[in-house]
Amino acid sequence: MKYRSNTRQRKKSIQGLRSFKDTLPRKIREAFLKKGKIYSKITDNWKIIVGSELYNACKPKSFKNIKNSGIKRLNIMVKRGHETEVEYSREIIKDKINSFLGYEFINNIKLINYTENK
């Protein structure tokens, strides 16, 4: 009798702790590893990319890739009162991110307002 392993989920039990990526299904794991690296690189270097003035006014929230239309959008959270500042520098931010990564990663930027609770 041949041994068949289930390719959808891992059925074998591993004693001890497992890494987070081993517990995820294969398709989610691939998407997470591809997008997660680039998004974390953007968030880690956000102050270098946008400068100190915009760093205090906004921060990246999430990244969305719409497959059929080819739109790659970065959602940025903007503090209330700094919307016009960030709106005028939207194209500059997009160009700086694409030049930082070395290729065209973002096509569009969406601004989301938020209030900072102290």
Q: CA triplet 39, 42, 43: central angle to 5 degrees?
A: 90
- Mean pLDDT throughout 79-96? 91
Burial 39-54 (b: 16+ CB within 10 A, else e): eeebeeebeebbeeeb
- Per residue in 24-53, pLDDT tens? 677 666 666 666 677 788 888 899 999 988
110 φ, ψ (degrees, to nearest 5) = -110, 135
60 φ, ψ (degrees, to nearest 5) = -70, 140
More confident residue, 42 or 6: 42
* The model's pTM: 0.66
Domains detected in the chain? 20-114 (3.30.300)
